Structure 1
Amino acid sequence: MTGMGDDARPVEVVRYDPSWPARFEAERLLLSDALPTTLGIEHIGSTSVPGLMAKPIIDIQAVVPEVDDVLADLAPLRRLGYVHRPLAFPADGDHLFLVKDTAGRRSQHLHVFRVTSGAPEENRLFRAYLTTHPGAARRYEAAKLRAAERHPDSRARYALAKEEEFLRLLTEARLWGRSGDD
């Protein structure tokens, strides 16, 4: 969860917005054209969990055969307003990170993963766990609110402050995923 960088914009965690799925869907259609080799585009992150408070930024993951092919021609994504942030996840060669601002505010995070990366499945698992376990979702929400209150001017410190709870929930999600329990 670290690696997002520090921006001058404040960290804001807001109530769930029922328009988030539609915002994702509109962006998914645009991205389908910009990433013709994509194997799938999904809504991930807190805005993908119904009822969960979140930063009002739509997190999107796209799975592609090769991230280097996307990196070789970023023009279609640039035309949509996406800016590549190569230093966000420098140690992960299977992961490209791009951001999009709308009306001067961060509106989307795009994570492009190579098909061999395990991250997309973990993102799906985490989303499913929070969606089906309201208590876990509330714990994550509380951690996000505390982190935003403590670090309203630093995305990096915000991410670090909620990381312990995120990792605890991810461990629970992995165990849940292996057990097949509801």
Structure 2
Amino acid sequence: MALTSKITTYNPEWPQRYEADKALLASAFGDELLGIHHVSSTAVAQLAAKPEIDVLIEVSEHCNAAARDEVLLSLGYVRGIDLSEGHHFYRRNVGEVRTHKVHICRRGHPSVVQMLTFRDLLRNDASLRQRYQDLKIELEATNTGGMAEYLEKKGPFLLAALLEVEITREGYGLL
């Protein structure tokens, strides 16, 4: 099975693609909107990625989901299955090509913290960024189980990076 897209070298147009959709996406949320963020690999300069723009939307509550779904559907987004309790997921394809993914969570949801923290780690640590890129390319080359396998095998790397930040934050950092 293939991934939803092939990993490519960093494209400086990815942030522009995010910005182009940001205001349109905001129109679906009204007063519940607290923040919109470009996340995942396309939000990190010099990092190879699947050319799919990931957007994280923070809301105060999951209100008016039916109305939100209608607006997002009019923008070409289809609701997927929730990734966890309170983590709503949407995707947009152009033809057979995935172009965007939207994650909607209440502020403070663990997914919000994880996505923003990992993105910032990659932006600020060239060594971590290179190791992550190498892992993604290796996983793509050896993948036989599609996206579920790819995400499962990336998981330990992400958790280790996030755990290191948490340990450092708690004062148990490097000696």
Superposition TM-score tier, normalisation by shorter sequence? 0.7 to 0.9
User: Is 2:11 aligned against 1:17?
Assistant: yes
What is the deviation of 1:120? 1.3
User: Is 2:35 aligned against 1:43?
Assistant: no
Partner of 2:54: 59
When the two chains are superposed, the root-mean-square deviation of aligned CA atoms in Å is: 2.1
What is the deviation of 1:172? 2.5
Instruction: Tell which has more relative contact order, 1 or 2 (C-alpha 8 A, sep 6+).
Output: 1
Partner of 1:143: 135
Q: Flag structure 2 segments of 5+ consecutive residues without an equivalent.
A: none
Q: Percent identity?
A: 29
Bigger drift between 34-43 and 16-25 goes to 34-43
What is the deviation of 1:9? 5.5
Q: Flag structure 1 segments of 5+ consecutive residues without an equivalent.
A: 1-6
User: Is 2:122 aligned against 1:127?
Assistant: no
Q: Deviations over 1:69-98 (max 9, x none)?
A: 242321001101111112x52xx2211001
Normalised by the length of structure 2, the TM-score is 0.87
CA–CA distance in structure 1, aligned partners of residues 10 and 144 of structure 2? 19
Give the partner amino acid of 1:52. Answer: L
The answer to whether the 8 A contact 1:11-1:154 is kept is no
Alignment of 1:22-101 (within 5 A): 22-36=16-30, 37-67=32-62, 69-73=63-67, 74-86=69-81, 88-89=82-83, 92-101=84-93
CA–CA distance in structure 2, aligned partners of residues 126 and 24 of structure 1? 18
Instruction: Decide whether aligned partners of structure 1 residues 30 and 177 sit closer, same or farther in structure 2, where only a CA change above 3 A counts.
Output: farther
The answer to whether the 8 A contact 1:45-1:59 is kept is yes
The answer to whether the 8 A contact 1:125-1:174 is kept is no
Give the partner amino acid of 1:149. Answer: A
Secondary structure of 1:39's aligned partner:
strand
The answer to whether the 8 A contact 2:3-2:140 is kept is no
Q: Deviations over 1:114-164 (max 9, x none)?
A: 124132122111111111100001111111111111116611111112222
1:110 is aligned, of 79, 96, 102, to: 102
Number of residue pairs aligned between Structure 1 and Structure 2: 170
CA–CA distance in structure 1, aligned partners of residues 16 and 144 of structure 2? 27
Secondary structure of 2:101's aligned partner:
strand
Normalised by the length of structure 1, the TM-score is 0.84
What is the deviation of 1:59? 0.7
